[in-house]
Chains A and B, each alone.
Chain A
C-alpha cells in the first residue's frame, strides 16, 4: 500500500506521508503559512484561523494546520480571498489586543506583532477594545496580563498536557472568553507550580517573568553592596540566543567578562554548588540505601518540581532528597563560608543568581531559605533578563577578552555542567557514587542512557554487586507517571531524577523563548559538548569543593551541611484539587 499523498500547493507538486497536514506539506516545500494557535509540540487546535488556505472544490477555506493533505488536492495559499481572510482575522485579533507593543515584555519577539507586520496591517477598520482586566502579579515568579491574551490556548495545552498541572482553564464564552487560573483564582492560589512553561507557549506577552532588573541596577549602584552572582549550568548555552549569537556560541569566559562589564563585583558559579549537591545527595542516597531510608529518593534541584510534589504528591515528600537546590546551597554558603573566607561582612553581600528558571524566583523567596541568617539569595534574574541587560548595556562580546571565575565558589567540573540537561543530575551522581561505592576509577564517565529529551528514561546499574534502578523524567506529566507508580507501591526504582521542564533546565521557563523542542535538543547537545571539554568531570574532583569540606563542612551530611544545605518541604494544601 502506498502511504504517500501527492498534492500541489501554489502549483508546486508535493509528496508527503499519509496523515500529513497542508501546513506540514507546505513547510516541506518552503511555503510559509502563518500560524498563531499552532504549536509544533502540541495537539492541533485550529482556532485562530490565520492559516486558512483555498482548496479547490471547497467553498470554505481550510485551516492548513488541521486539514489533512489528500491525493490530488490543489491548494492555494496566497489568493486574494486567502489574504483578505487572514488580514481580516488579524485585524479582529489585533482590535481586541492592547497594541501597546512598545511597552510589552515581548516587544520584538511576538508572533502577533510579526504577523501584523508581515500582513501590513495599517488602518484597522475595527475599533480597539480592551478587556480592561487587571494583571495578575500574585506570584513572585511569573505574571499574567489577561488583556493581551489572544485565546490561542497554547498555555492551557502546556499546563494541562505537557505539565499535567491544570492550573489554567477557560471561563465565559464568545468574546468574553478568558483564560484564567483554575476556578478564577489568582495564580498563586491556583495549582500553578511556577514552572513558566506557559511563557514559552504564549505567542504574545500575556504571560511573562516578573522582571526585577531594576533591583539589580539599584544594588550595583549602591557603594555599600558587594554584588555577587552565580550562573546556573543551563544559562550559558542559551544566553547567546538573547544577544544575536547561536545556541552555545558564547564562550563561558567571555560571558563572565560580560557580567563584569555589567558591574558585578564577583562572578561565581552555580556549577560549584551543583558539584556540592552531588556530594551531599550522592551520600544521602547511599545512606538511604544502606540504612533503609525512604526510597526511591527523588532529586530536589528543580523548584517547579518541588512545588508540584508539594501540591499534588504531599504524601511523597519524604521521598524528596533533603538537599537544597544548588541555587540555595550557594545562597546559604555565600553569606557564611565565602563571606568569612573573603572577609566581607555578610550583610553587605547582595547575592544574585542568573537562572534559566522563573520558579527559582519563588524558591529564593521561600521563608525557610534564610539559613545564613539573611535572605540567602537576594535576587534571581532569568536568562532573558540578563539578555535584556546585555542588550541595554550594548556590550560587544566580539571585542571582549575572556575572564575567569572568582575564587572559592567558582570552580566546577563537567558533572556540574550537565545539571542543565535532563538526566544530568543522575549522571553526575552516578559518576561520584560509583567511585565512592566501588573505590575504583570510572573508565568511561559517560552514562549516555541518562541523556536526551525523551520523557522518561530508566536504567539499571551494578554498584559493587548491588543493582541500583534509576529513572529520569522531564516534564511534569512524565513525573506524574513515575509518582503514581510510587504512590501505588509499584515503583521499581531506587533513585529518580525529576526536572519540571521539558529537556531539563535548558528548557526552563526563564530561558530565551523556545517554541519548539528541537531548540531544547540543540541546547542539550551544547551542554554535553561543554562537559566533554572539561578537564575534571566528577564532582568529587572539584578542588574548591574539597577546600570547602576541609575547612568548613568537614564531611557530607555533617552538622554544618544539615544546618546550611538541607531543608524539608511542606504540603501546599491548595483549594479545589
Chain B
C-alpha cells in the first residue's frame, strides 16, 4: 500500500489514540505526512506512568512484534526512518524483550530502512505527556512544550513526529490486514475497536481485559471484574488513572468510549479502573492522589507548580480534620482555574479527582470539616 492509502485506511477505521487525548490517528499521521521536512520521526509512548495501568506492558511482554509492526506501518505512511520507543523507567525487563524483537524483525528485513531505538525514561510521570517525552529524548528536562505547534508539525528535534501510545500502534496491523470497516464495526461507533482495561481496587478479578468500547463500566466491574468482594457495596470508581474523575453509581452504565466518558464529566484516559467499596475513605484516597500530583508536577507552569502543592495542602488539612468550608471553596476555585489554565494535561487533569468528588460525594468532605 502507498502512504496515502495506509493513512486513509487508518483514518477510515476511526482509530483514536489510546493514550488519553483520543485524536483520530489517521488524521494525525496525515499532518506529519504532509509536513515538509528532511527528517520525520515515529515515537511510541510506552511511558505508562498512570498508577494502576499496565496494559502497555502486557502488550510489550506478550506481543512486542505487533508494536514494532504498527510503528513500521506508521513510518512507511509518514516517511520516517527513525523510531523511538520511550519506555517507562520502571520496566527494565521489557528493554531486552523489545530489543530482541527489533533485532528479529531487522534480521528478517521487515523494517526496511526504518530503525527503532529503545529509550528508557527516568521515572517522571510528566514524561508520558508527548512533548515532555520529546524533550526527554532530546536530553533535556522532562517538561512539556506549549502547543501549537503540535508534534506532527514540529516534534522531536523540531521535525514532524508522530507520538502514539503502545495500544494505538498495536491496533494498526489488524486494521491494515482486515480493513478499516472491519475495525470501525467493533465497539462504540465514535471510538471503535477494543480497549484494554486494568482492574484494581475492590473487585474480585483484579486483572486485565480487552473489551469492545461499547462495554459499560458496570459490565467491567460486575461481569468481567466479578463484582465487589465480601458483599460490600460500591462506593465509587476512578477510570483512566490517577487523574481520572471519581464516578458514582448512577453513571455506571456509561460505555468505556472517549466521548461517552467526557459526557459524564470523566475521562477514558489509560483505561485503568480503580474500584472503591463503601468501606474506603475517599478523602484519604484524594489526599494521597493530590500528594502524587504535587510530587509529579514538573514545575514549569505556575498554576500547576503552585496549584498542585496547594491542593495537597488543603486536602491534608481536610483529611486531618482542620479544614473549613472556606477551604472547599478555595479548592473548587483553584481546581477550576487549573483545569483550564495549566500548560499541559498533567495540571489540567490534576484537580479532576477532587472536583468530581466534590460534585458527587460532597458529604464525604462535609463530615471532615470543622
Contact between B305 and A175, CB atoms less than 8 A apart:
yes
Residues of chain A within 8 A of B301, CB atoms compared: 46-49
A63 lies within 8 A of chain B by Cβ: yes
Residues of chain A within 8 A of B141, CB atoms compared: 170, 173
Nearest CB in chain B: distance from A457 CB, A: 29
Contact between B302 and A93, CB atoms less than 8 A apart:
yes
Residues of chain B within 8 A of A81, CB atoms compared: 340
Partner of B300, one of A47, A88, A96: A47
Partner of B337, one of A45, A47, A84, A174: A84
Complex: A507 Cα to B342 Cα, angstroms: 35
Partner of A60, one of B309, B334, B348: B348
Contact between A47 and B343, CB atoms less than 8 A apart:
yes
**B: contact size bracket:** 20 to 34
Partner of B306, one of A59, A61, A93, A173: A93
The A-B contact count (CB < 8 A) is: 97
Contact between B309 and A85, CB atoms less than 8 A apart:
no
Complex: A46 Cα to B302 Cα, angstroms: 10
CB proximity to A under 8 Å, residues B308-345: 308-310, 313, 326, 330, 333-334, 336-337, 340-343
Contact between A85 and B305, CB atoms less than 8 A apart:
no
Complex: A175 Cα to B312 Cα, angstroms: 12
CB proximity to A under 8 Å, residues B325-370: 326, 330, 333-334, 336-337, 340-343, 348
Contact between B294 and A175, CB atoms less than 8 A apart:
yes
Interface SS, B side: helix
Complex: A66 Cα to B333 Cα, angstroms: 25
A95 lies within 8 A of chain B by Cβ: yes
Residues of chain B within 8 A of A151, CB atoms compared: 299, 302, 305
Greatest chain B CB density within 10 A among A61, A95, A126 is at A126
Q: What mask results when residues 48 to 74 of chain A are scored 1 for a CB within 8 Å of chain B, else 0?
A: 111010000001110100111000000
A400 lies within 8 A of chain B by Cβ: no
A389 lies within 8 A of chain B by Cβ: no
Which of chain B's residues has its CB closest to A52's CB? B341
Complex: A48 Cα to B337 Cα, angstroms: 13
For A, the interface residue count at a CB cutoff of 8 angstroms equals 36
Nearest CB in chain A: distance from B51 CB, A: 17
Residues of chain B within 8 A of A52, CB atoms compared: 340-341
Complex: A92 Cα to B299 Cα, angstroms: 13
With contacts A95-B306, A175-B305 known, is A89 near B340, CB below 8 A? Answer: no
CB proximity to A under 8 Å, residues B261-315: 294-303, 305-310, 313
Q: What mask results when residues 138 to 171 of chain B are scored 1 for a CB within 8 Å of chain A, else 0?
A: 0001000010100000000000000000000000
B124 lies within 8 A of chain A by Cβ: yes
Partner of A175, one of B299, B333, B343: B299
Nearest CB in chain B: distance from A325 CB, A: 38
Contact between A173 and B341, CB atoms less than 8 A apart:
no
A177 lies within 8 A of chain B by Cβ: yes
With contacts A170-B141, A175-B294 known, is A61 near B340, CB below 8 A? Answer: yes
Complex: A170 Cα to B298 Cα, angstroms: 11
Contact between B299 and A173, CB atoms less than 8 A apart:
yes
A44 lies within 8 A of chain B by Cβ: yes
Contact between B340 and A60, CB atoms less than 8 A apart:
yes
Complex: A88 Cα to B330 Cα, angstroms: 10
Residues of chain B within 8 A of A85, CB atoms compared: 303, 337, 340-341
CB proximity to B under 8 Å, residues A378-396: none
Q: What mask results when residues 34 to 50 of chain A are scored 1 for a CB within 8 Å of chain B, else 0?
A: 00000000001111111
A125 lies within 8 A of chain B by Cβ: yes
CB proximity to A under 8 Å, residues B108-162: 124, 141, 146, 148
Residues of chain A within 8 A of B313, CB atoms compared: 127
Residues of chain A within 8 A of B302, CB atoms compared: 47-50, 89, 92-93, 150-151
Which of chain A's residues has its CB closest to B309's CB? A175
Complex: A172 Cα to B296 Cα, angstroms: 11
Complex: A66 Cα to B303 Cα, angstroms: 16
With contacts A49-B302, A89-B302, A173-B124 known, is A63 near B337, CB below 8 A? Answer: no
Residues of chain B within 8 A of A44, CB atoms compared: 146
A176 lies within 8 A of chain B by Cβ: yes
Residues of chain B within 8 A of A47, CB atoms compared: 300-302, 343
Residues of chain A within 8 A of B294, CB atoms compared: 174-175
Contact between B308 and A174, CB atoms less than 8 A apart:
yes
Contact between A175 and B337, CB atoms less than 8 A apart:
no
Contact between B310 and A126, CB atoms less than 8 A apart:
yes
Contact between A174 and B303, CB atoms less than 8 A apart:
no
Complex: A47 Cα to B330 Cα, angstroms: 22
Interface residues, chain B, CB within 8 Å of chain A? 124, 141, 146, 148, 294-303, 305-310, 313, 326, 330, 333-334, 336-337, 340-343, 348
Additional A-B contacts beyond A44-B146, A93-B302, A151-B305 (4; CB < 8 A): A49-B302, A174-B294, A175-B309, A177-B299
Q: List 15 A-B contacts (CB under 8 A).
A: A44-B146, A45-B146, A48-B302, A49-B301, A61-B341, A63-B146, A88-B333, A93-B302, A174-B297, A174-B298, A174-B308, A175-B306, A175-B308, A176-B299, A177-B298
Interface residues, chain A, CB within 8 Å of chain B? 44-50, 52, 59-61, 63, 66-68, 81, 84-85, 88-89, 92-93, 95-96, 125-127, 150-151, 170, 172-177
